[in-house]
Amino acid sequence: MAVAKTLGQFIIEKQSDFPYKKGEISRLLRDLGIAAKIVNKAVNKAGLMGILGEAGTQNVQGENQKKLDIYANQQFISALKNGGECCIVVSEENDDFVYIDSEISKNAKYIVAIDPLDGSSNIDVNVSVGTVFSIYRRKSPAGKVAIDEILQKGTEQLASGYIIYGSSTMLVYTTGKGVNGFTLDTSIGEFCLSHPDMRIPVTGQVYSINEGYYSHFPEGVKQYIKYCQVEDKDTYRPYTSRYIGSFVADVHRNIIQGGIFIYPSTAQAPGGKLRLLYECNPLAFIIEQAGGVASDGYNRILELEPYELHQRSPIFIGSREMVKKAEEMMDSFSPQIKYVSMVKAKNINIQP
Ligand code: P6P
């Protein structure tokens, strides 16, 4: 049987794809892979290690932090600190950005935005959770990093990826030359290439949205849900509804099977729930590289102008034809939100 290619071998083989000094991206991805293996062990044994449950603290979003959230955050930040390539970390678990000032990092060029453990509400009930990361390069050559170097558009990402801690643990990433998936072989402690050149089907039969909020959705979203539920053999409808409640798991399923995930704006959350820098942008980069589409219902996610670290965005992400259909519904039935979304995308302040 052919020996599977490890993540490390693959990164070295592909590092000529990377426009900067060859070893830099390799070391960054290596560092993230190391932390992923450590977090994987904790996630798999959470029930036995007494690290399930609430930490008794809240993150900047006002969400109760789980002990595993904090543990994962510590592991990724220390792996990046020790690797020496990262100068700034933006994390869902830290109010402000973390400046990496270790001696080894004094010439570091890279900014990493990360959700160390997405879907944490699922931890206690043993449902898949994930890590999401985004890699940017600082614009200034050295010295203190300015905030506008951190608030870069998604199109500026040099790499992005996710780890899904599910029935198996996978690391999926892109550097802008396609998407490749690696499955953790715990017998040798290596991520091995299992899903080369991942492509999302152009259409699918799965729609993924929390229909519990139906009454608060924009009319365009309501109309799209109705469209998914109509009987029509020619277009394989009604579609199937699947909602894991873990962004990474729902999007990963759709990349494999085809489908659409929607977390729209609602009356309570006009900006949506998912965060632009370390959830929407990284997965939008992945999905576009796999042949899919990611928008806020009107604007390409990767073109949205970030104006704060923990900014949220509505997201429609998945198979091209399904997202385009949903965008048509938004255009026809929810034009008023379009103005707000277009304004946000152009970073124009809306006077109250
Ligand atoms: P709701 C998990 O807490 C998360 O941030 C995403 O992973 C997931 O897609 C979403 O929230 C689920 O939110 O409101 O449907 O429970």
Q: Tell me, what's the pLDDT at 272?
A: 92
Statement: residue 87 has pLDDT above 90: yes
pLDDT of residue 58: 77
The whole-number pLDDT of residue 20 equals 72
Q: Is 7-195's fold the same as 206-346's?
A: no
The C-alpha angle 123, 124, 129, rounded to 5 degrees, equals 15
Where are the domains positioned within the chain? 7-195, 206-346
Using the predicted structure, report yes or no on whether residue 351 has a pLDDT greater than 50: no
Cα 126 from Cα 104, distance rounded (Å) = 38
Distance CA 28, CA 330 (A): 39
Choose one of 64, 246, 250, 277 to mutate for the ligand 1 pocket test, by most ligand atoms within 8 angstroms of C-beta.
246
| pLDDT at site 63 | 73
When pLDDT is cut at 50, 70 and 90, the band that residue 85 belongs to is very high
Q: What is the mean pLDDT of the chain?
A: 91
CATH architecture of the domain 206-346 equals 3-Layer(aba) Sandwich (3.40)
Q: Specify whether the CB–CB gap between 64 and 88 falls below 8 A.
A: no
How far are the Cα atoms of 223, 251, 287, 308, 319 from residue 235, in angstroms, in the given order? 16, 22, 23, 41, 14
Predicted pLDDT of residue 289: 98
User: Does residue 1 have a pLDDT over 70?
Assistant: no
Per residue in 232-269, pLDDT (tens digit) is 999 999 999 999 999 999 999 999 999 999 999 988 78
312 CB within 6 A, ligand 1: no
Retrieve residue 342's tokens: 């277009």
Among 51-55, 96-100, 329-333, the least confident range: 51-55
- Separation of CA 10 from chain center: 22
Tell whether the torsion through CA atoms of 41, 96, 172 and 65 is positive or negative.
positive
Pocket residue to mutate for ligand 1, from 121, 165, 214, most atoms within 8 A of Cβ: 121
Q: Classify residue 280 by its DSSP letter.
A: I
Query: Which parts of the chain fold into alpha helices (H)?
Result: 7-14, 22-45, 67-83, 147-150, 219-229, 247-257, 281-289, 320-333, 335-345
Percent of the chain with pLDDT over 90: 71
What is the domain class of 7-195 according to CATH? alpha beta
Whole-prediction pTM value? 0.93
Closest alpha carbon to 284 in 138, 114, 135, 161: 161
Scan for tokens 């894991």, then name that residue.
Answer: 244
258: left (phi over 0), alpha (psi -120 to 50) or beta: left
The pLDDT of residue 340 is above 80: no
- For 108-119, how does the pLDDT look when each residue is reduced to its tens digit (9 = 90+)? 999 999 999 998
- Whether residue 80 is predicted with pLDDT greater than 50 in this model: the reply is yes
Give CA–CA dist 225/204, Å, rounded.
Answer: 14
**Pocket perturbation via mutation, ligand 1, pick of 65, 261, 265, 273 by most ligand atoms within 8 A of CB:** 273
**118: Cβ below 6 Å to ligand 1?**
yes
Q: CB–CB of 18/175 below 8 Å?
A: yes
Ligand 1: does its nearest atom lie under 6 Å from the Cβ of 210? yes
CA of 17 to the centre of ligand 1 (A): 34
336 lines ligand 1 (CB under 6 A): no
Q: What is the reported pLDDT for 143? A: 83
Model confidence pLDDT, tens digit, residues 38-72: 999 998 887 666 666 677 777 777 777 778 889 99
CA distances from 172 to 7, 160, 249, 251 (A): 10, 9, 12, 12
Q: Work out the number of other CB atoms within 10 angstroms of the CB of residue 2.
A: 4
